[in-house]
Amino acid sequence: MIPGAFEYSAPTSIAEATALLARLGDDAKILSGGQSLIPLLKLRLAAPKHLVDINRIPGLAYIREANGVLTIGALVRESDLEESDLIRTRYPILLDTSRFIADPLVRNLATVCGNLAHADPANDHPATMLALGGEVVAAGQKGERRIPFTAFFTGPFTTALRADEILTEIRIPAPPPRSGGAYLKLERKVGDFATAAVAVQVALGPTGVCERAGVGLTNVGPTPIKATRAEGSLQGKRLDDAAVKQAAQLAADEAQPTSDYRGPAEYKRDLVRVLTGRALRKALERAGGGR
Ligand SMILES: Cc1cc2nc3c(=O)[nH]c(=O)nc-3n(C[C@H](O)[C@H](O)[C@H](O)COP(=O)(O)OP(=O)(O)OC[C@H]3O[C@@H](n4cnc5c(N)ncnc54)[C@H](O)[C@@H]3O)c2cc1C
């Protein structure tokens, strides 16, 4: 289908873009990769009067690690993550996540920040960010503010961003030694959204005890879910089989799936249990130096 008519602007600075957004309010939508927004426009599920295209703003396509923080700029595409040596060697969980998204054509355009800002509970990056921990930078008319991932996803397709704000950067604490993470997803066919998916990130102390655990769940609730009881059950423990099984069951208990064409709720809940166990084992393998 053909989208409804809209005005189009392509500002060349954050200040120009946020001024436009402040002036236009709810009539405007930011366009980045367009891989969620354009289909919505074509289906006429969204009909903004104005698109503010941020693709011409220079300096937003960086992936860096400095001062103990990984930063990902607003115009980093999924394919940039896949091609980054830094991501491949230090953040394999991000590579796992990206590779599962859609197909190479979509990944060449879709941005990681757009994946968070869109806040579809079926999107893959939100759960991974909840497992990794960190925050986003939101730039608006009044300057910048930081929003922790835990406060960012406020409802289905809804975030803590204000109408004049652009998500300009993702900030993830660099993993300490003996860390590992993994993202596992079950999809009906390649490129589909998740029936359910689980992200796990762990950091072990020198004696092998778990010092930090993050567990995020995709598409089993109205928002991505941070499985805090599962995380709490892992901390301070040696992650043997019993600990892994207990955390997997707690994550399943924390899921809030509903039945739909991807399967009944109870099937999805059990899927969360199975995927959490497997993701934890993979994360532990990576924490021990495995790939
Ligand atoms: C065929 C297909 C399959 C897909 N499969 C998957 C999948 O399996 N898993 C998955 O996670 N995703 C999937 N996607 C979605 C894809 O990853 C989207 O591109 C992504 O969710 C949005 O990123 P974008 O850069 O394309 O954003 P856009 O489509 O440009 O924007 C999406 C929304 O976010 C807002 N927005 C975008 N960037 C910003 C920003 N920097 N600051 C503030 N607001 C912003 C826009 O205003 C809009 O409301 C699929 C898409 C397609 C077309």
Q: What is the pLDDT of residues 180-204, one digit of tens each?
A: 999 999 999 988 999 999 999 999 9
Question: Pocket around ligand 1: residues whose beta carbon is below 6 Å from it?
Answer: 29-37, 39, 74, 101-102, 106, 110-111, 113-115, 117-118, 123-124, 161, 166-167, 191, 193
Q: Give, using CA atoms, the residue closest to atom 51 of ligand 1.
A: 35
Residue at 60: amino acid letter:
L
- pLDDT score for 1: 78
State the amino acid at position 251 in one-letter form.
A
pLDDT (tens digit per residue) in 206-264: 999 999 999 999 999 999 999 999 999 999 999 999 999 999 999 999 999 999 999 99
Residue 291: what residue type? R
Nearest to 219 by CA among 239, 191, 192, 196: 196
CA dist 243 and 266 (Å) reads: 23
Whole-prediction pTM value?
0.97
57 CA distance to ligand 1 centroid (A)? 18
